[in-house]
């Protein structure tokens, strides 16, 4: 039998390696399971995404659990890439309760976040925490009683602007009771930039665009009552860029955006709506993915139709391959949700939905 030539042998080895790589299953590791003891002193029900800090560790929040004997008010934790978890802080209601958002590491190296309720006035808080676990409550909402004119119940996390300040939203309160946009510096001085006045309720956080302005969504309100996309300057001048459902129910362009926006490398902002769209499988529409320019021109990029997902309520992320990725909490081939990919340039080139 003749020996294989060196080139054929190399080709055989490469093909074997490729076949092995394709056949290898994805490696999944549970790094930590919360609540190995009663009362969950380490935390329970982490709702929000993690942030990887400059020290290489991950930091996050749990909305319940902790070591307080008076109740289960949530925690801040650190976890190493190998899975060693440290509970940095257990909330005690006076310094916050029920943190539903993740953290942001600011330029000073500290982490900043919000709690949905708690604080002395029970309207929620903004807090700072060091990597070592020293927590400072920077601001307690609902301090200007009556009416919580400064805001109430921040659901979303914060974003640090190019000016060094932190920006966020509250889902209630304000001058009219329908939520606010606020600015807070790293020392805790808060300014209410805008009070929504038309049942708008900003549920999601903000993103700062390349133009320096901040962009966000409201889950309701607007000209037709089904939510908006807005732009606000760091000084507080708000412009409603788009009001969903101008043609009336069932809202072919989408309705009720609960998630925030991401600015893609093409310069457009992308987001999702929980209802609406042209997918006929849901009585109220299964939701959409949309793109919107900084000037307010909106394109419905994809309408969900249950088989590919339903009710997207989380923001999208753009990966290094240029594509956008996201999730739906329901729908799909088996019902309990999907993970999807969207090619962001597809609607420019073809004017058609592309969602795989």
**Class of the CATH domain delimited by 42-154:** mainly beta
Three-state DSSP state, 283? coil
- In the predicted model, is pLDDT for residue 2 greater than 50? no
Three-state secondary structure of 172-231 = EECCCCECEEEEECCCCCEEEEEECCCCCCCCCCCEECCCCCEEEEECCECCCCECEEEE
By residue count, the chain amounts to: 356
In this structure, which CATH number among 2.120.10.30, 1.20.1330.10, 2.30.40.10, 3.30.200.20 belongs to the domain 198-351?
A: 2.120.10.30
- Give the pLDDT confidence of 277-306 residue by residue, as tens digits: 999 889 899 999 999 999 999 999 999 999
Tally Cβ neighbours within 10 Å of residue 230. 25
Does 86 or 17 have the greater pLDDT score? Answer: 86
- Does 42-154 match 198-351 in CATH topology? yes
- In the predicted model, is pLDDT for residue 24 greater than 80? no
| Residue 302 backbone phi and psi in degrees, to 5 | -155, 140
- Give the pLDDT confidence of 29-59 residue by residue, as tens digits: 999 999 998 889 999 999 899 999 999 999 9
Residues 6+ apart with CB under 8 A from 37: none
Q: What is the residue extent of each domain of the chain? A: 42-154, 198-351
- In the predicted model, is pLDDT for residue 73 greater than 50? yes
* Cβ–Cβ < 8 Å for 46, 62: yes
- Mean of all residue pLDDT scores within the chain: 90
- Give the pLDDT confidence of 175-205 residue by residue, as tens digits: 999 999 999 999 999 999 999 999 999 999 9
Residue 329, token pair as written in the block: 């909490």
Task: Report the Cα–Cα distance between both ends of the chain, in Å, rounded.
Answer: 49
Residues 6+ apart with CB under 8 A from 216: 169, 181, 202, 204, 205, 206, 207, 229, 230, 232, 260, 261
* Cβ–Cβ < 8 Å for 79, 87: no
Does 8 or 297 have the greater pLDDT score? Answer: 297
* Cβ–Cβ < 8 Å for 105, 53: yes
């Amino acid at each position: 039998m003749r020996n294989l030539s060196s080139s054929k042998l190399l080709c055989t080895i490469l093909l074997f390696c490729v076949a092995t790589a394709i056949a290898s299953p994805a490696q999944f590791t549970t790094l930590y399971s919360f609540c190995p003891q009663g009362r969950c002193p380490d935390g329970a029900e982490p709702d929000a995404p993690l942030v990887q800090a400059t020290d290489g560790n991950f930091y996050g929040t749990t909305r319940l659990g902790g070591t307080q004997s008076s109740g289960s008010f949530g925690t801040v934790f650190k976890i190493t890439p190998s899975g060693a978890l440290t509970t940095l802080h257990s909330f005690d209601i006076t310094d916050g309760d029920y943190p539903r958002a993740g953290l942001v590491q600011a330029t000073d190296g500290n982490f900043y976040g919000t709690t949905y309720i708690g604080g002395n006035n029970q309207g929620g808080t903004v807090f700072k925490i060091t990597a070592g676990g020293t927590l400072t409550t920077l601001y307690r909402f609902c301090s200007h009683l009556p009416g919580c004119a400064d805001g109430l119940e921040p659901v979303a996390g914060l974003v640090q602007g190019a000016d060094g300040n932190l920006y966020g939203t509250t889902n209630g309160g304000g001058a009219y009771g329908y939520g606010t946009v606020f600015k807070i510096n790293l020392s805790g001085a808060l300014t209410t930039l805008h009070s929504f006045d038309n049942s708008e309720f900003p549920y999601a956080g903000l993103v700062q665009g390349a133009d320096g302005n901040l962009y966000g969504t409201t889950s309701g309100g607007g000209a037709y009552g089904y939510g908006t996309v807005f732009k606000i300057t760091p000084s507080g001048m708000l412009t409603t860029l788009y009001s969903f459902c101008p043609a009336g129910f069932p809202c072919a362009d989408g309705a009720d955006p609960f998630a925030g926006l991401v600015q893609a490398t093409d310069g457009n902002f992308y987001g999702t709506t929980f209802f609406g769209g042209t997918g006929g499988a849901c009585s109220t529409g299964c939701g959409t993915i949309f793109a919107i320019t900084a000037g307010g021109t909106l394109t419905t990029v994809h309408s969900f139709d249950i088989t590919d997902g339903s009710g997207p309520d989380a923001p999208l992320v753009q990966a290094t391959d240029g594509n956008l990725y996201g999730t739906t909490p329901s729908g799909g081939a088996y019902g309990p949700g999907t993970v999807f990919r969207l090619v962001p340039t597809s609607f420019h080139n073809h004017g058609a939905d592309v969602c795989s």
